[in-house]
């Protein structure tokens, strides 16, 4: 077995390996790395190869730490490895450590989709030198809708209020279109900008979402769906598709038409479309680990819960320091920056991913 930094001509091989892996995720795909690489991240993929076959790997985003000259590694939803094979995990992380020495990285941060009850995987990470970090980047909990049932069973499993709102939107004439083109992105962006102001959360500049179209939508790894009422776009979602899973990450709506219940019928349309196209799961992406009144995402939790997906909770963020002093310094600085940004945006220090 040997270590290789994958070249562009390994794109299809890498994506196939990730898509077929138990922990495979769109955020570990070749295209996601390229997408983030268009900004301030430097992406690269490390693979353990045997007879030209990938046995394990990790897609890493590297970013410079301001004022220090060092770098910080982050592998969103990585690594892609059999966590039951401790030796394989250790070999992969040793390869990352070697690359960190070459590139001057102080630490690696990961947040794989490993169930929080998987004591074996957690033990493996800790034995290798990983430490838990309570500050999350990706959501730690989600609802995943099983699409392998017949469509009537899926609808009947929804909460009564969710079924009612789906039918209400349809009765009022809300129509949903798959619009994965410039118009769809334009509609989404305008509504997303309004939604972010209304609900007080930060979003990327407009160019970010047009780059997403170029890197993922145009590569058939994402789609835009738009809900219309009397010809007016009133809500939209961007969903990613990878392997047998559909994943919802971005959603937007106009406040003035919220009583039309467009968000309910949007997700119902996506579910039907995904099932017709052979997808097995719909990941609704991001709910509180401990939902309660007053939590910033409690309303999101109630909405997503209505689709009766299986509640999954992952292990969250784990870091492995390569330079313990600089890691502590950088990690502290990141927390201060995030708190300051939240204060400027919301007028208070809060964290929507807090538990």
Please report the pLDDT score of residue 39 as a whole number: 87
Residue 345 has pLDDT above 90, yes or no: no
Q: List, for residues 3-16, the tens digit of each pLDDT value.
A: 999 999 999 999 99
The whole-chain average pLDDT of the chain stands at 93
Percent of the chain whose predicted confidence (pLDDT) is above 90:
83
Which whole-number Å values give the CA distances from 206 to 38, 56, 107, 203, 298, in the listed order?
14, 35, 31, 9, 27
**Percentages helix, strand, coil for the chain, rounded to the nearest 5?**
45, 25, 30
Question: What is the mean predicted confidence (pLDDT) over 163-169?
Answer: 98
- Please, which pLDDT band fits residue 84 given cuts at 50, 70 and 90? very high
pLDDT at 325 exceeding the cut of 90: no
3-state secondary structure of 231: coil
Of 27, 5, 241, nearest to 137 (Cα)?
A: 27
Q: Which residue has the higher pLDDT, 343 or 298?
A: 298
Report, as an integer, the average pLDDT of 214-234: 97
Mean pLDDT: which of 141-155, 196-210, 324-338 is highest? 141-155
115: β partners: 314
Residues pairing with 73 in the sheet: 62, 108
Domain covering 2-138+315-346 in this structure, CATH number: 3.40.630.30
Q: What is the mean pLDDT of residues 68-73?
A: 88
Q: Where in the chain is the domain with CATH 3.40.630.30?
A: 2-138+315-346, 141-312
Q: Which pLDDT does position 349 carry in this prediction?
A: 45
- Res. 302 pLDDT band, cuts 50 70 90: very high
| Contact assessment for residue 155 and residue 163, using Cβ atoms and an 8 Å cutoff | yes
| Residues whose CB is less than 8 angstroms from the CB of residue 158 and which lie 6 or more positions away in sequence, other chains included | 166, 306, 307, 308
Q: Is the pLDDT of residue 234 over 70?
A: yes
Question: Using one digit for the tens of pLDDT, what is the confidence trace for 115-146?
Answer: 999 999 999 999 999 999 988 899 999 999 99
Among 35-39, 91-95, 109-113, 349-353, the least confident range: 349-353
The pLDDT score that the predictor gives to residue 283 is 98
Question: Which homologous superfamily does the CATH classification assign to the domain defined by 141-312?
Answer: Gcn5-related N-acetyltransferase (GNAT) (3.40.630.30)
- Tell me, rounded to whole angstroms, the distance of Cα 55 from its chain centroid: 24
Identify which has the larger pLDDT, 134 or 149.
149
pLDDT tens digits for range 173-209: 999 999 999 999 999 999 999 999 998 888 999 999 9
- How far separated are the first and last CA of the chain, in Å rounded? 41
Give the per-residue pLDDT at 85. Answer: 96
User: What mean pLDDT comes out for the span 217-241?
Assistant: 98
- Residue 262: the pLDDT is 97
């Amino acid at each position: 077995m040997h270590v290789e930094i994958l070249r562009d001509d390994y794109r299809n091989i890498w994506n196939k390996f990730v898509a077929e892996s138990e922990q495979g995720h769109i955020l570990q795909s070749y295209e996601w790395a390229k997408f983030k690489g268009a900004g301030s991240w430097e992406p690269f993929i490390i693979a353990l190869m045997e007879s030209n076959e990938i046995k394990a790997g990790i897609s890493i985003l590297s970013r410079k730490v301001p004022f220090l000259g060092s770098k910080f590694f982050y592998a969103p939803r990585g690594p892609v490895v059999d966590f039951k094979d401790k030796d394989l995990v250790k070999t992969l992380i040793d390869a990352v450590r070697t690359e960190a020495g070459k590139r001057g990285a102080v630490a690696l941060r990961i947040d794989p989709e490993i169930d929080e009850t998987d004591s074996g995987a957690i033990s493996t990470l800790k034995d290798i030198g990983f430490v838990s970090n309570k500050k999350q980047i990706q959501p730690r909990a989600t609802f995943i809708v099983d699409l392998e049932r017949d469509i009537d069973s899926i609808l009947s499993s929804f909460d009564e209020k969710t079924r009612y709102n789906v039918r209400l939107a349809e009765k009022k004439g809300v129509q949903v279109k798959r619009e994965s083109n410039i118009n769809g992105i334009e509609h989404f962006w305008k509504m997303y900008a309004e939604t972010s102001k209304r609900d007080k959360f930060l979003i990327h500049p407009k160019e970010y979402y047009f780059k997403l179209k170029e890197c993922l939508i145009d590569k058939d790894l994402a789609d835009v769906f738009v809900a219309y009422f009397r010809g007016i776009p009133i809500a939209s979602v961007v969903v990613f598709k990878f392997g047998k899973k559909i994943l919802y990450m971005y959603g937007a709506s106009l406040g003035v038409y919220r009583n039309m219940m467009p968000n309910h019928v949007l997700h119902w349309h996506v579910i039907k479309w995904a099932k017709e196209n052979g997808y097995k799961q719909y990941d609704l992406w991001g709910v509180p680990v401990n939902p309660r009144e007053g939590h910033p995402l409690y309303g999101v939790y109630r909405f997503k819960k209505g689709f009766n997906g299986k509640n999954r909770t992952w292990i969250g963020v784990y870091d492995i320091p390569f330079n313990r002093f600089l890691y502590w310094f950088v990690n502290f600085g990141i927390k201060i920056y995030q708190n300051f940004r939240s204060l400027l945006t919301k007028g208070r220090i809060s964290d929507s991913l807090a538990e």
